[in-house]
Structure 1
Amino acid sequence: MYNVLILDDEEPLREAIRILGDWEGLGIGTIHEATDGEEGLALLREHRIDLAMIDMKMPGMDGSEFLRRLEKDYPDVLSVVISGYNDFEYTRQAIRSRALDYLLKPVNRHGLNDVLRRAVEELDLRRRKAEEKISRGRALNVSLPKLRENVYLSMIRRSFHPNREADTLAMIGAGGGEARLYGAVSLRLLNLDRVRRGRFYGDTGLLHAAIANVIRDCAPEGMESFGFADPAADREMIAVCACRTDSGGEASAELRVEAYLCELLPTLERLFGLRAAAGYGPLSASLGRLADSYEEARAAAGRLNLLRIDGPVLAGPGGTGELPLRRAGEGAQPPGRLPAAAARHGAKPDAAAFAAALARIAAAAQSGAHAQALRIAEDALAELKAPGFLALGDAQRLLAEAEAVLGRGADGEPVGGSDPAHGAPAGQAEGRSAWQDSAPEDAEAGDLADAAQWERRMLDAVERCCRHARRADRTGASFHISDIRAYIDRHYFEEIKISMFTEKYFLSREYLMKLFKQEYGVGIHEYTQKLRMEKARVLLGEEGLKIQEISDMLGYNDKNYFSKAFRNYFGVSPSEYRSGVRVWIGGRN
């Protein structure tokens, strides 16, 4: 519905227009009236007016002056000029002001409705164009980030030629225009699995989108930063930084990138608990050099010393030094170049010696000397850590090599045997190795947040190799029921399945449960529940912890389920317990 303003100092004319106009049929809802120009302007300020019908001869502000004000302040309002004088000057003013038409008094029904019909057609056309523009804008807003991601990714892969794609660059806001320096950042997500499971419901895409938003929002004034996931590696985010050069040159821009990363990395840890390491490449005014910048950024991130990663760190191009940041919660370092930590220059790990150690580990595992296999592994890890420097990239490579070699066993075949019909491990789907199938259900299996986790994953690989060797020859292994209790004590916050132990020790479910109850007086599930509840009591004494956080720490996915379990065990809810209610169960307060 459209709104009309009738501006005339004569009441009879206004009444005639109201009576003669086919308002409802033309879709015109509200008709406002004013007797002079000032009153008309006041109505324009208060209401949305689509069409103004203006008498040219009025006391005070006449129609000519009103048209000039209308054109200046309300250019979207259509106008129709009405006058009792067949005067060329009025006609000329109407033409200057781009009035839709010019009507002479007395106004007749046919002439009035013909003008109104054309006015509505023009308003309909404007509305359709505006809606199409909004629709195109929405579509562009949805598709533009993906287009920008594809363009930058193509540059990094050296398949995009900026000089031949000027229009595409203009569309994504890159190239041309104001002078900028472009550089790439490689962001390694060290504990992606933990964060993805704990904060993002296992949705990697959702996590990547959240990180991309923070990458954008942390950019300081004078810089734009666009982040996206590397499709070939979900543990890496790439950021393209564009720095204006209006304040300083390349050195100043590099300082801004460092200061930006000093803000970004602690922010990711504070918001999501995400630990990250970053490398950044050199800046250049040419987008054609973006691939070089990315390759140096990736190499810089790979040179970071895993043995010193205890919080967010970053590294720049051309060196092995690190720029350490304070842990989240302590605030970022002040802007400016940070003093590089004393670079620990260690020789690259001896690949041949490590390969030989892996072969000895696999051989010991296959021969049943499992303790020896672990000792060889521990000695090899100690030798790798002895120089005090182990590059993140080398650590990742060595871990992948260990998991691959120990997954094949000493003879080069997948541990656990294979199905001759398909070449896959017996009982497994084609293409899935026994190594993969036997790995524990660890939602953080791919994380590498620090040296301790790297070493633990190395030793886990050795233990899995030994476990497969025991299964292959069916000789079993030394076993005591306390092994199961020790595992529960360490992993009570995870899902404990009895099948984990029956498969590991080749014992029946009934026998294991009976043995455990004979030794400890309770079943495996009851023991796990008891341990969780005792831990819950301790954690509830920590005032800074929310009940939701305690629930998560104890492995409950649902806070309500945790509260119900706590009430069933202690007779009061967690909130009541925290508020001072105490109960006696089995003589314990």
Structure 2
Amino acid sequence: MMKVIIADDEIQVRRGLKMKAKWEEEGFQIAGEASNGKEALQLVEEIKADLVITDVRMPVMDGIEFARRCHRKFPHVKVIVLSGYSDFEYVRSSLVEGVKDYLLKPVAPDELAGALRRVKEEIVLEKKQLLESEKISRMVHTQLEEMKEQYLLQLVKEEWSEPFLAAERLQHLKLGFLAEEEKHVQFFTVELRASEEHSVKELWLPFRMLCKEIAEQYEGTCAYYDAGYSNMLHFLHCIDRKKPLETLSIVKKVQTYVKKYLKAETVIGMGKKVSNLTELKTGYISSLLAWSQSDPGLKSQVIDGTHHKDVFELSPDKEKKAANLIENGSLKEGRKLINDLLLEAKAGSMLSFSFAANRLLLLLESLAAKYDMDRAEINQTMWSCQQSIGELTAHEKVIEQVTEFAHRIILLVSKSRSSPNGLAIVENVRRYLDLNFANEVTLTSLSEQFHINSAYLSELFKLHVGQNFSDYLVEVRMKHACELLKDRQLKVIDIAYLTGYSNSGYFSTVFKKHAGQTPAEYRKAALNMDEIAGRERR
């Protein structure tokens, strides 16, 4: 029911109006009465009215002044003005904003019913358009969240290049705090555990939504999902020096809310505090490492890994060498390097060994996904390795599992490169572009990523896709740009950065060439189409 306020200084007139229409049948409910415009204005706010029927002549504040103020403060509220014969033409010609109809007193029942129906149609249409707009905003928000999660995963797995480019991207994804100097961040990993009657699969979506809602309550905090770790979400929290214990507050809230609303348990591993982009991977792995030391039972736990001493670090060069050996099919050399790295770490401490094994696992998981290993197989392998790492003394078992994982990736790469006419390679490249379209991608960087001659890759791509890689990349970027333009809140320059363009002018040129309209023209047309679609559905 739509809420109506009747405003007239004569109580008999108000009573008469209430009797002249079948309000509920018309879809309205009389929710309040006022004797002047000032009272009516207060009531509009209190009861969230949809329509006000007001007389022109009233003490304190007349109907015309009320209509003006109401439109400024509550633009969605409709107003029908009543006036006597002597004022009718003057009032009707005054064109007060927000007034939807003018009725002559005494009001005829059929004229009142007609005015109510016209107003109802307009309110229903506006509400449908608002719902459509909110739906589009939610879709765009979801897309932005996915982009944010994807980029966070790239950062914690060190799949990024120049820090200044990363800083720009972070700014437009509302993660600029990660690039600020002297800022400390902390990761914590949350695993959902449930009894048989409440399966983790059933609880996963509400668990994820709950964690996201909690993260949004704290500035500089976000929750993201890493497909390599089933039943787990990961939090990243920027530490406020004035609130040093805030991370613990978030952890406590997650455990309390999951237990209260989902009747489930959580196991949380708290990582070390880190201070810059290059240390994010260390912070992330330290939270995984803390989690891996949990007890296996169905009980909530918090494992604090913040006080771990410095552990063995794998240099980027060694990680890159390992990746190159695996992607080039050098099984013997790859096995030896992995074995040597883990044994070197083992010589330091059990913690160093676990840390190094986790870093290698992240590297292998990234390579497996790159070459399209079955996600369920990746997850199972990661989980088994994590369980072995958690045993702390199963060094030989961990080395065996990690090297076996590497061996399976080598076979996968070999199969991909021997596929008929290079089809599998092209599909891997397409998948990479679909995920990394917002990054700086060139044919040269792609050929280096997939260890293939750039000219040959270009030839293969055009053969199987029907267009060269740069045209395909533009198409992917423009598709995402079209979706993002439906959000009125995003500036064109933000959309340019989010789709891989550092210059908004160049982005607009490319967009117009692709869509035949400037971004602003496309946005206006898209919003108009949504309004037309809303009317048609009505």
Q: TM-score of the superposition, structure 1-length normalised?
A: 0.41
Higher RCO by CA contacts (8 Å cutoff, separation 6 or greater): 2
Give the TM-score of the pair, scaled to structure 2. Answer: 0.44
Choose 1 or 2 for highest CA Rg: 1
Higher relative helix content: 2
